[in-house]
Structure 1
């Protein structure tokens, strides 16, 4: 994602809703070199602050905070604002905190040669080692002391770590994606990381990050064919500069099978391609092609089966309480003319990724029992479970089983097929720990992650690559600034969720999977609260107070209106999409 895009998202968020992403961001806490620590400011429009002669101490501190966003050579730009002794002793790797705004006050007083300022700010996230952003809240307060040396003010006292303002963070860092393999090893799972926005060695840096493995929350949920023993080096070929694309020479890479080689290439190629590193990608082992078939370089077409963002068809079905399942086509909604049209009281539904199986939660009374019906699209529905409450349903993309949380305590997955669906109890504890009222859950298209709404908050967690169970300790809240207003969640793609809210202001919002970017969608022709959301391709769907609406997110900004679906105007209907 480009810097301009990031800033436009923030501006849109502030102007549309005031839901400014607050939190704190922390740079690597390890003293060992990390990719985000080697920033090369090559952009001509990037201004690097330097001390100004006879600069007032408060202005010098502010320029120091701006310079601290540039992590090149252990924050060399920021160290210029320190005395030689302080520059040598400052531990910049302890923690870097990103604040919404840095407020300074001279509470410590000022004399002819001494000044002391207190910096206060509201946290907006943490950036862990390897560029992992974490949503966070709270207040920061640090004291910075200055002395006048040779007539010029310099900082001589400051605590370990770095504090930078959010605007500077988004000006100097960019979100990029590493890709790891799902448990089935046939799909890619994005792992967003924040690295320096302008780098001359981006390709090598990203591959080195791949070798460090996934973020802790994905441990046990994904696989990698890029071992931690591997390292990369710039090619030593004298004529490489005359070749188009990028050469990555791996050292320490073991011999891989043909299948593992393709999986390895898929991880590397999609990681580089999605970050706009130029292809084709000549992948080498100790100077020799990794695979002679691709000696001239790999492209995304060579690993198209692993495309992490494959094309998705728009929604083809909707669920109505009175007429069951209805089909959507160019002319609008019409009866599906199948056994699912007879299901009454439909409240939520999902479809398998192959489009052959449906799961519907039905119940006539507002407080009556809920029936979870499952079955093939062209077969009679079968009641799998009857319960007081059902959160879901959602389909697993690999095995095609239906997941749901029933009665607020039992997590089940249901095998569809035959007269009697098979029901397996899962470990619900990692989900129940999130809150007392779980209202929605959705598995992503890779099968590695799950989004959960609990007590009006949204969480992202991981599923075990071996057992499929939710992984304890992997769930983290995102979208903290939304408060407890979230009613429903859906995966827009593998790196973004869309949430519905019980508010009139910004009733539908998208959030990046790491929680770093929150963006309200159009508010034109939609009236919150929103009770359900879904997404398919370029379209997002929402159920507001009136009816089921759809938004074309690829339309020109001036044309982004929520529109009713022909045949369903003013009719209560629920979206039915894959997942």
Structure 2
């Protein structure tokens, strides 16, 4: 990573209102890592720039760039800096580009009534319609022309689209989450969007975004009970003294009882996660959607759809010499059962019900690898063997194990009995990303797949019908990390944990849309990191010494990577669900 991609020392990161809780963490105040090019939402007092009398043209352009971050009323704040003709013709909706910093130079020269500036910046992302952030890279170069109008400088020439500096973007936008249903319609999948940080109609805005459907690339991975025919209208009960929020839908078809609950789950969790006050009175053309909830729905009414359910800490670890070991308050001890006899363990995962284990074994560094599967209390069974086995990872819905064998064969393995069922599925959507796949993990909803290819991390979608990787949906996130990623794991449905080869910020988290990258504590961890995992509030990493764990909910001053009792100085791998 070049020094140009390093930020100044970061003491703390502030979250904008509505940002996902797991997407924002505070760094230890006594730790002073030089942080990678981190997206960190902030919420300072917002001042709206306006043209200043007799303002110099370069300063006017800079205020124009700041005002461009305000999208209200077709970027009305920014149009004040344009001539009337330019204000009428400027297409601000063409594209929104976010740059690290906007640099201006007067290369076009300046006369008494004419000035021209070149804007250059390092692109860090784009904001697509619907508030969809896309991690991006490259250089931006645009020419902005100004003329004197009634003695004042105004912009009369500029390209279509909007350029926003990163700091202004995080001052004026906040990350929210829309929720869609998995293919089985019994769980929720987050779809992060960026909306104006402060808006009075947030609830209506989010529901209208839900009706537009999921982001491109996720359409064939999720379902929605909120049809695109629906719209939100002001409720006749608006303005009464009842607490909570009323959302009145028009164009909503009659739904079955099950579909009504699924519809409510999408809407209620979308509103609740963005701090829109509840209870939520969901109406169809002025009448309650379900008479049982005439006074409003709460998250408790759709608790089975909780997108961030509680997760137990890690209960098992894998060692090469002692197989599976069990972790408890007293430390590590050999696990009861046949898995303690597995030797040469290298990677492992556990099913979400905690009953099944998959372990990759291999005694020598260059020798063959075996994938062993089976119930926790039964004898391990060999499912496949090869020169390399990447994975394993469990699907949360069908409980099957995935692994990439010999770098080309993507297998889906049913566990049960003495003869595991092995199905080969299309690996091309993954193999097209690069030549060397070193990790793959299915997310806790079963809708997404994270893969590490050529030391970069990609996220793609899985078909809601076949469960297979969807071609064209994989995209790189965490570009500013460079090509030094070794491993990835899902912290939850909207955030991944990444291990890196570097000693600087060896473990980071990245939001699923790539917008927020945050380093975790660097206390008592020494890169490179070869494996990462997460379970609830704890994150686990294997550094050059041992298996470590970090309590991300601890007080800032107590966020140390700690060894696990009984495994100090012993090479061990984390074993968690997924």
Matches within 5 A, 1:513-528: 513-528=512-527
How has the CA–CA distance of structure 1 residues 305 and 337 changed in structure 2, closer, same or farther, with 3 Å as cutoff? same
Deviations 1:491-538 (A, max 9, x none): 000000001001111100000000000000000000000000000000
Equivalent-residue separation in structure 2 for 1:327 and 1:211 (angstroms): 47
Matches within 5 A, 1:12-91: 16-21=33-38, 45-91=45-91
What is aligned with 2:179? 179
CA contact (8 A) 1:411 1:428 kept: yes
Equivalent-residue separation in structure 2 for 1:466 and 1:91 (angstroms): 40
CA contact (8 A) 1:98 1:169 kept: yes
How has the CA–CA distance of structure 1 residues 342 and 164 changed in structure 2, closer, same or farther, with 3 Å as cutoff? same
TM-superposed CA distance for 1:150, in Å, is 1.3
What is aligned with 2:16? 3
SS at match of 1:218: coil
What is aligned with 1:475? 474
CA contact (8 A) 2:101 2:122 kept: yes
TM-superposed CA distance for 1:96, in Å, is 1.6
Equivalent-residue separation in structure 1 for 2:131 and 2:95 (angstroms): 13
Aligned residues: 559
CA contact (8 A) 2:545 2:571 kept: yes
CA contact (8 A) 2:119 2:142 kept: yes
CA contact (8 A) 1:22 1:125 kept: no
Equivalent-residue separation in structure 2 for 1:230 and 1:520 (angstroms): 41
SS at match of 1:458: strand
Matches within 5 A, 1:176-255: 176-237=176-237, 240-255=239-254
SS at match of 2:98: strand
Matches within 5 A, 1:57-456: 57-237=57-237, 240-456=239-455
CA contact (8 A) 1:49 1:63 kept: yes
How has the CA–CA distance of structure 1 residues 2 and 528 changed in structure 2, closer, same or farther, with 3 Å as cutoff? closer
Deviations 1:433-472 (A, max 9, x none): 1111000000011000000000000000010000011000
TM-superposed CA distance for 1:21, in Å, is 4.3
CA contact (8 A) 2:326 2:334 kept: yes
Deviations 1:218-237 (A, max 9, x none): 01100000000000012122
Equivalent-residue separation in structure 1 for 2:101 and 2:368 (angstroms): 50
Equivalent-residue separation in structure 1 for 2:518 and 2:462 (angstroms): 26
SS at match of 1:440: strand
How has the CA–CA distance of structure 1 residues 9 and 167 changed in structure 2, closer, same or farther, with 3 Å as cutoff? farther
Aligned Cα root-mean-square deviation (Å): 1.8
Deviations 1:310-354 (A, max 9, x none): 000000000000000000000000000210000000000000000
TM-superposed CA distance for 1:148, in Å, is 1.0
CA contact (8 A) 2:15 2:24 kept: no
SS at match of 1:375: strand
Equivalent-residue separation in structure 2 for 1:77 and 1:315 (angstroms): 51
Deviations 1:142-194 (A, max 9, x none): 01111111111111111111111110000000000000000111000000000
Equivalent-residue separation in structure 2 for 1:76 and 1:347 (angstroms): 58
Equivalent-residue separation in structure 2 for 1:21 and 1:479 (angstroms): 9
SS at match of 2:332: strand
CA contact (8 A) 1:104 1:119 kept: yes
Equivalent-residue separation in structure 2 for 1:308 and 1:8 (angstroms): 17
TM-superposed CA distance for 1:9, in Å, is 6.6
SS at match of 1:55: coil
What is aligned with 1:566? 565
TM-superposed CA distance for 1:18, in Å, is 3.6
Equivalent-residue separation in structure 2 for 1:171 and 1:323 (angstroms): 52
TM-superposed CA distance for 1:8, in Å, is 7.9
Matches within 5 A, 1:530-569: 530-569=529-568
Compare 312-321 and 144-153 and name the one that shifted more: 144-153
How has the CA–CA distance of structure 1 residues 178 and 185 changed in structure 2, closer, same or farther, with 3 Å as cutoff? same
Equivalent-residue separation in structure 2 for 1:4 and 1:294 (angstroms): 28
Equivalent-residue separation in structure 2 for 1:401 and 1:4 (angstroms): 38
TM-superposed CA distance for 1:4, in Å, is 7.3
CA contact (8 A) 1:145 1:158 kept: yes
SS at match of 2:240: helix
CA contact (8 A) 1:382 1:419 kept: yes
CA contact (8 A) 1:358 1:376 kept: yes
CA contact (8 A) 1:10 1:20 kept: no
TM-score (norm 2): 0.95
Equivalent-residue separation in structure 2 for 1:231 and 1:8 (angstroms): 32
TM-score (norm 1): 0.94
The unaligned stretches of length 5 or more in structure 1 are 24-42
Equivalent-residue separation in structure 2 for 1:18 and 1:331 (angstroms): 36
Deviations 1:105-153 (A, max 9, x none): 0001111111110000000101111000000000000011111111111
TM-superposed CA distance for 1:246, in Å, is 0.2
CA contact (8 A) 2:361 2:371 kept: yes
